[in-house]
Amino acid sequence: MRQSKNNSINIIVVVVLLIVIGVGGFIYLSPQFEQDKPLIKFDEKKEFWNLKDSLKVNISDESGIKYYKVIYKDDSNETVLEKEVLKEAKNSIDLEIKAPKLDMFFKGENVSIIIEAIDKSKWNFFEGNKIEKEFKIKIDKKSPIANVISNSFAIRKGGSAVVVVEVKDENLKDAYISFNDEKRFELIPFYKENFYISLIAWPVTIEDFQRVNLVAIDKAQNKSLTKVPLYIRKLRVKHDNIKISDNFVKNISINVLEKSGLDVPNDIKDIFVKENKVLRKLNSDVVEEITRKFMDKDLLSDFSIKPFKRLSGSKTVAGFADRRHYFYGGEKIDEAWHLGMDWASVKHAPIKTTNDGKVIFNDYLGIYGNTIIIDHKLGLQTLYAHTSKSNVTVGQRVSANSIIANTGSTGAVFGDHLHFGVLVQGIEVNPLEWMDRNWIRTRITDVLNEAKKVINSK
C-alpha cells in the first residue's frame, strides 16, 4: 500500500516536473516571450544640434514597440520631448525629434538625448524588454562668420573673377563659393588664418547669371549665405555652321570612340552625335574631376601670373565660345561650344609654357586627343590638347618657357594644331582674359593687394 502511494507521488512529481519543463521551454522558445531588447539607431555623426533641425531616430523590434519616451537633459534640468503608448505595436518607428521650447533654466551647451523603449514581449513578467540609451550632443545655435573682403568688380559670361573672404567658426564643417547654386568653387587658405581665396567662373553653358554666394556651414548645420557683389558683362558669341562628311566620321569619329572604349553605333549621324555630345561630356567631366582633385590647395600669401602667350608663329583658327552648329546632308544634327583657342602653325610645332606649374594630367582624352593639364595654383590650370609628342610626366614641375609637347592632330580633329584652354577649377574659361596683362592686374592682382590691406587692418 505504502509502495503504491510512493509510486503515485513519484508519478505526480514527474508530471509536475514535465509540466514545469514544458512551460519553461515554451516560454523560453516562444516568440511571445522573446528576450531581445529593442534597437535604437541615432545618427552617430550628429555631434551638434542647432535646435532648428529635427533629430532623426529609429526604434525597432521584432515583437513590436509598445512604448517609447524621449528626454532632453542638460546639467541640471530635463524635459520630455516625446512620449507615447502605442495602441498597436509597431516593428519600426521613425522619429523626428523637434527641439524643446527651453526656458531660462536650460542653459547647458552639452546635453543628452535619452531614449527609452519597451517592446510587447511577455518576457520579464509580461512587462516586456526595456532599453534606455543616452546620446551626448552639443548645442550650437550660432551661424558661422562669413564676410566678403574683396572681389573682382565684374564677371563676363564664360569669364573669371576672384573672391577673398573671411570664414570663421569653431565647429566649421564646410565653406565654398556657389554660382547660381549650380557650381561649387573651393576655397583656398589665404594670407592669414580664417581668410580664404577662390577663383570663380561663369560657365558659358549657364545662360543666366543669378547670384554668387559665399556659403559657410558648421557641424550643427547652421548656415551663412553672403552675396558676392558682381557686375555682369555679356559675351559676344560667334556662330559657325560646320558640315560633317562621311570621311570625317569614318576616319575620325569611329577611331575616337573606339580608343575611348565606347560602342560605335551603325548610323553615320548617330556615330558623330555620340562622339560630339556623349564623349565630349565624359571628357569634360574627367577634366573637371582631375583638376579639382589635384589642384594645389596650400596656403597662398601671394599669386603672380604672367599673361599667357599664343603659340609662337601661329594663326588663330578658332576662338573661345564659338557656337558650332553641325550639319549632315543638309540636316542639323548637333551643336556644341568650342571652349578654347585653336592655334595652328607648322606641323609638330613646339609648345611652350608661359608660367611655372605642375603637370596634373597627361593622357589620351577622347575628343581632346593626347592632352596635358598644368596646375598654376589658385585653382587655375591650362590645357594643351591634340598633342603629338609629350616631354613631361604627371607630377613634374615645369618652369616658364619649357617645351612640354608638340602640336598634333590626335583626337577629334583632322589638322595639326594646338587647342589651348584655361581652366578655373576644371571649368574652361575665356583664355583672352588671361592673355591680357591689364585684365590680370585690375581683376586679380589689385583685388589681392586690396584684400591684404583690409586683413592687416583687422
Per CATH, which fold does 145-234+446-457 belong to? Immunoglobulin-like (2.60.40)
Say how many residues make up the chain: 458
Question: Does pLDDT of 408 surpass 90?
Answer: yes
- Tens of pLDDT along 134-182? 999 998 989 999 999 999 999 999 999 999 999 999 999 999 999 999 9
Domain ranges of the chain: 34-139, 145-234+446-457, 238-429
Of 200 and 97, the one with more pLDDT: 200
Same fold? 34-139, 238-429: no
Of 332 and 122, the one with more pLDDT: 332
Segment 22-28 shows an average pLDDT of 49
Lowest pLDDT segment from 78-82, 382-386, 423-427, 441-445:
78-82
DSSP 267: S
Mean pLDDT of all residues in the chain?
Answer: 90
Looking at residue 26, what is its pLDDT? 46
Looking at residue 32, what is its pLDDT? 61
Looking at residue 276, what is its pLDDT? 93
Phi, psi of 345 (to 5 degrees): -135, -115
Looking at residue 27, what is its pLDDT? 46
Of 44 and 309, the one with more pLDDT: 309
Per CATH, which fold does 34-139 belong to? Immunoglobulin-like (2.60.40)
- Tens of pLDDT along 318-357? 999 899 999 999 999 999 999 999 999 999 999 999 999 9
Report the alpha-carbon distance of residue 399 to residue 356 in Å, rounded. 4
Looking at residue 16, what is its pLDDT? 58
- The continuous run of DSSP H or E covering 440 comes out as helix 437-440
DSSP strand E in 140-251: where?
Answer: 145-151, 154-156, 160-168, 172-179, 183-186, 188-189, 195-201, 212-218, 223-227, 231-233, 238-243
- Tens of pLDDT along 217-251? 999 999 999 999 999 999 999 999 999 999 999 99
Looking at residue 79, what is its pLDDT? 87
pTM: 0.85
Question: Does pLDDT of 6 surpass 80?
Answer: no
Q: For domain 238-429, give the CATH superfamily.
A: Glucose Permease (Domain IIA) (2.70.70.10)
